[in-house]
Every structure is written in structure tokens, then in C-alpha cells.
Chains A and B, each alone.
Chain A
Amino acid sequence: MSADLKQLAGQLRLKALELYKMANAGHIGCSLSCMDLMIGSLVRQKRPTESFILSKGHAAASLYTCLNYLGEISDETLLTFYQNGTTLPAHPAPNKHAGIPFATGSLGHGLPIATGIANANRLMGQDDLTFVLMSDGETNEGTTWEALHFAVANRLDRLVVLVDRNRLQGFGYTEDILGDSAAPHKFEAIGADVTEIDGHDIPLIIATIDTLRDRRDGRPKVVVANTVKGKGVSYMENRMEWHYLPMSADLYEQAREEVLQAYPQP
């Protein structure tokens, strides 16, 4: 990975850790899991007229830190995360910032919404991509499959569904809850164009989206990105409890040090 992307992946992780520590809040593992996907898509690939929906709204800090990096959320506003009267609650609130036009976090809403956006763009003859980032646990929701059928039937090949497949959901391994509901062949069976990648390889994420951007074959694009929940902090990695836990002062310091080690900052 190029030094600047690696540095950015570390910089935004540190910012997210800082926000969660300040708020004494959970959902850290969820944000670290999808941070590289967010950088590859929202930060590096999304064009100004394109839409990005974070369907797994509980990873809000990853969205806020990326939008902050893009200049859409000020440093001052970012620090109000979780506070009374904030525009940046634990789950994204709609219409407070240009980059967040829909309420998400109640799972299973993002894909139908993004499908509608992609359909609107098709109607208007626009070539814009519509990105939606889902969790693998979220694919338990039936709307995933309803929306995908619609997207296939309407040939929405400008829809890019990014699935953060960290194999852990709220209270267990996805495999143990309902089986692997985000397995690539399930999307393929419906007629999507599926690419399975390493969800922490940012250059690969960017290159994959480049390829999909040029593939106008009528098939909606699904990127099943294999990820590690809590990526970058050893004690959080692949640990279900870091869906919820806040960090103690010691653990916060350890997390910062590990991120600095793994993602060197200038």
C-alpha cells in the first residue's frame, strides 16, 4: 500500500478512536472494520455528484471522520460527536450535513434507498455511481434481497454494494446466527456482478471500483470485502465484544500506539 494511503488509514483510525474515547462509546470495532472500505470508496472514488450511503449506521464515526477529512464536516463539529444537541449522533441523522441525506442505522434500509438513487440517476441519464456500504450481518435483513432483485431486474449497473464481511454480528459469528448470509454465491445467484476482495487493501478497493465503473453490463455490482472487525487494534480484532465496548484509558493508549505502529504517521 502506498505510504500516503497507509498514513490516511492510520490518521482516520486515530481520529475515530479519539471520538469514541471522548464519547466513552462503543461500536469501535465496527468502524475500524469498514474504515479502509470507506477510504477506498467514499474518500477516493466517490465523485461530487455521486451518492454514498452508510447503511451500517452504527459505524457512524467512520463516516464522520471521512467526511471531516473531505471537508464536509468541520473539526469543531466533529468534536461534538455524541454530545447533547450534536448533528453527529451514534447513528447518522438525516439532512444535517450534505453528505448524509438519509437516516441509517436501522439495518436493511440503505440498500433499498441506494437502489432508488441509482434508479433515479438512470432515469435522468446520469452515469454516476451510487455506493452503499452494508455489514455482512445486515444481510440477514430481507430487504437486501428484495432490493437486489429490483436492481437486477432494472439493470442498475451503476449501483455499487460494498459488503463489510467481518463475519461477526451483534451477538455472535454470522456463521452461527443464520449461516453466512453474505456469501458471494448468494448475490451471484440473483444476478449481481460479484467481486470478492480483501477489504483492507485500499489500492485494491480503488482499483476494483475503477474496473466496475467501466463495466456497463447491466448487472448491479456487489463487492464482498473480507475484513477484520476492529482492524488495527490487536485486542479488538475478531472480538465480538468490541461491537459494544468503550475503551478504558489504558486500552485507548494501547490502541493508539498499535495504530501508530501499524500505520506510521509523519
Chain B
Amino acid sequence: MKILVAVKRVIDYNVKVRVKADRSDVDLANVKMALNPFCEIAVEEAVRLKEQGVASEIVVVSIGQKSCEEQLRTALALGADRAIRVDVENAPDALSIARLLAKVAEQEQPGLILLGKQSIDSDNNQTGQMLAALLNRPQATFASEVKLDGDSLVVTREVDGGLQTLKLNLPAVVTTDLRLNEPRYASLPNIMKAKKKPLEVKSSADLGVEVTAKVKLMSVEPPAERSAGIKVGSVAELVDKLRNEAKVIA
């Protein structure tokens, strides 16, 4: 079975982003970029399925400018076999991303498609669901366990009330949650080997998808700043403040 993994280049999770002075967007100049943590987990899961003999080939795909080839190389170093970058100029909207991924999936015919549940920049949490819809395939979002059972996939999902387990016919779309696995580090020899693995570039025109931008960013503002309050010296003082100053406990 072939696995397709969609990966995204995002700001490193340790970086606290700032809003530009003119409030047009956030400032990404000279900011450290990385593979979206949820995508890293998706790649790791694919690699484990290959190690178990369930998967035969892992293809990673990213939609973006040339810079995202860095993250595709990271995914190759973690164990993916080949990479596809879909070149786009301006930031496409979510539906265009899903349509481009759907075209790649139609060409590649994977048995399983893995995505992160959420990109940590846009915090959207929607691409996997949209891709599954466009392909008319079942989806299991927020996965914390993925098991193959004959021709079907058994996935445990992290839902608000606890855990839910679903059975899906393949091909299927799965989005990863944080506890699905702990991604490995790429070893130096694997980083070297990754440089020689195939990386193909396609354009949206090659895929026959018209890229749109129907969600316009009008402005960006910093969140309401919380000022640090006071330090209390004891539990008694804390309880007194909560009762008589903040009046939040009886």
C-alpha cells in the first residue's frame, strides 16, 4: 500500500510570533521555520507502517514556494521515499489547497492519506476533512491510534468527551493528534541520503486546479495583553484576595 502524507512549512513552535507595526500581517522575517509538528507525526506514522510491512511506499507532498522543499527534505530524512512540491505563488485558500491535494491523490492513488490535524500557524484544522470530502472517502480526524485490520483501518480518535474508535474502508484520510506517536530524529546519514531522493515539482496548472483566494486577511491585531498581577505571600492571602477583591469564590 502506498501512503501519501501532506506536510506544511510553518513557524517553529517555540517562536512567539509578533504582529507587524502596520497590522497587515504577522512578522515572519528571519523567523525560524519548521515542519508543522502534526505533519511530523503523520510522517512518523507512515514510516512506522512501512517498517511494519504494511506500507510499501511513502510519498510526501507540500504546497508552497521553493522554501518548503526544506521541509520536504526533512520528511525524506525521516523516512519518506519521494516528494512532490506543488508550486503556488500567492497563498491559496483552504479549498484550493484541498483541491490540489485531491489531484495529487488522484494521480498517486494511495491507500491511505495522512495529514496533521492542524497547522500551528493558521490553526485551521480543516484540510484533511476537506480532502476526504473531495475524494468522497471516509475520514478519521484527531487520531491517537491507527491499526490496519484486513482491508479496513481501525482508528481511535481524541474527541472532547474521551476516545472514539471508528472502522474505515480504505482508501481513507486520517489526521494526526499529538499522542499518535513520538517522531524520531533524522540521523545524519539519513539527512545525507535524503538529498538524493526524488523531489518533483508540479504547478497548479499541471494539476488543472484554479487557485483562488476567497478568504481575505483584512488586518491582524495583537491579542489583548494581560498585565502581570501581583504576587501573594501566602495561601491565606490568596484566598482573601479571591473572596474579597476579585469576588470569584464564595
**A and B associate:** no
* A interface residue numbers (CB < 8 A to B): none
* B interface residue numbers (CB < 8 A to A): none
